[in-house]
């Protein structure tokens, strides 16, 4: 579904990604693990078109995305939940969600309402707060809203960057339960998450990144490969 070959990305003179190879198959949840600053978020932003790679190729459903603007990549079916959530504070929950329809233009009013109803069923807390402004939401509620807004557009592939960072343990549980439900529904996900011991329970495969390179790739369902991952991230 998604394939990267030899992706290099720079920020000015800083060589952040140094030859990343990665694949995502349909229905998979892929974990991107590693310490802060190794290039995980840059990789996510590259996939979403927020950052343009300086070398290498990447394709989505057989079509090259290199150089494609981020809005077009979004309309191809790649949805991003960024690390900083990017909730519009002066808009209500429902108005924030309505922006998600820009990912899939051409829907009728009835189709939009049907989709909103299904989102509120998945996120009952947002349904209770649909008229509240983004500034009044807790950190966990803002994270739910960021995820819900992307899901409104029914993406074919979901990119989620650090969804549980800074959240209370109870909210962390809710976010992981939500991602597990998405996985069970067959939504492919590329997940960046520092809580590796929780994330490993929902991912299919993982990539460990160090200094902009993949140093380990493994099957999350294999105990020996899990153990090797834990040994490396504990160093």
Residue 216 forms part of a structural domain = yes
| 86-114 pLDDT tens trace | 888 889 999 999 888 877 777 778 888 88
Per-residue model confidence (pLDDT) at position 157: 94
Per-residue model confidence (pLDDT) at position 159: 95
Per-residue model confidence (pLDDT) at position 23: 94
Per-residue model confidence (pLDDT) at position 215: 94
Per-residue model confidence (pLDDT) at position 158: 93
Pair 57, 64: CB distance under 8 Å: yes
Using DSSP, state whether 111 is helix, strand or coil.
Answer: helix
**First vs last Cα of the chain: how many Å apart?**
33
Residue 131 forms part of a structural domain = no
Residue 117 forms part of a structural domain = no
Per-residue model confidence (pLDDT) at position 111: 82
Round to whole Å and give the CA distance between 154 and 84: 21
Question: What is the block-wise mean pLDDT of the chain (235 residues), using blocks of 10 residues?
Answer: 93 91 93 91 92 92 90 90 86 89 77 87 90 88 91 91 88 89 91 92 94 93 92 77
Q: Where are the beta strands (DSSP E) in the chain?
A: 2-11, 14-24, 29-33, 55-60, 63-64, 78-81, 157-161, 189-192, 205-210, 213-219
Taking residue 55's Cβ as centre, other Cβ atoms within 10 Å add up to: 13
Pair 217, 203: CB distance under 8 Å: no
Nearest to 81 by CA among 11, 174, 165: 165
Pair 143, 175: CB distance under 8 Å: yes
Residue 124 forms part of a structural domain = no
Q: Which domain holds residue 162?
A: 2-86+156-233
Residue 161 forms part of a structural domain = yes
Residue 78 forms part of a structural domain = yes
Residue 201 forms part of a structural domain = yes
CATH at 62:
3.40.50.300
User: How many domains would you assign to the chain?
Assistant: 1
């Amino acid at each position: 579904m998604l394939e990267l070959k030899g992706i290099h990305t720079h920020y000015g003179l800083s060589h952040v990604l140094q030859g990343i190879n990665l694949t995502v198959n349909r229905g998979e949840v892929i974990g991107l693990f590693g310490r802060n600053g190794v290039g995980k978020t840059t990789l996510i932003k590259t996939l979403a078109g927020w950052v343009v790679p300086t070398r290498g190729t990447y394709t989505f459903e057989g079509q090259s995305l290199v150089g494609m603007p981020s809005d077009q990549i979004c309309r191809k079916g790649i949805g991003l939940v960024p690390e900083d959530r990017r909730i519009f504070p002066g808009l209500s929950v429902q108005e924030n969600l309505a922006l998600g329809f820009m990912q899939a233009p051409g829907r009728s009013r009835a189709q939009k309402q049907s989709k909103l109803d299904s989102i509120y069923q998945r996120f009952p807390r947002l349904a209770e707060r649909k008229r509240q402004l983004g500034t009044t939401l807790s950190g966990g509620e803002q994270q739910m809203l960021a995820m819900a807004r992307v899901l409104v557009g029914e993406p074919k592939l979901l990119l989620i960057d650090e969804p549980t960072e800074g959240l209370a343990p109870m909210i962390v549980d809710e976010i992981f339960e939500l991602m597990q439900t998405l996985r069970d529904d067959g939504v492919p996900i590329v997940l960046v998450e520092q809580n590796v011991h929780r994330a490993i329970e929902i991912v299919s495969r993982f990539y460990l990144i160090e200094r902009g390179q993949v140093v380990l790739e493994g099957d999350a369902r294999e105990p020996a490969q899990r153990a090797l991952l834990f040994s490396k991230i504990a160093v």
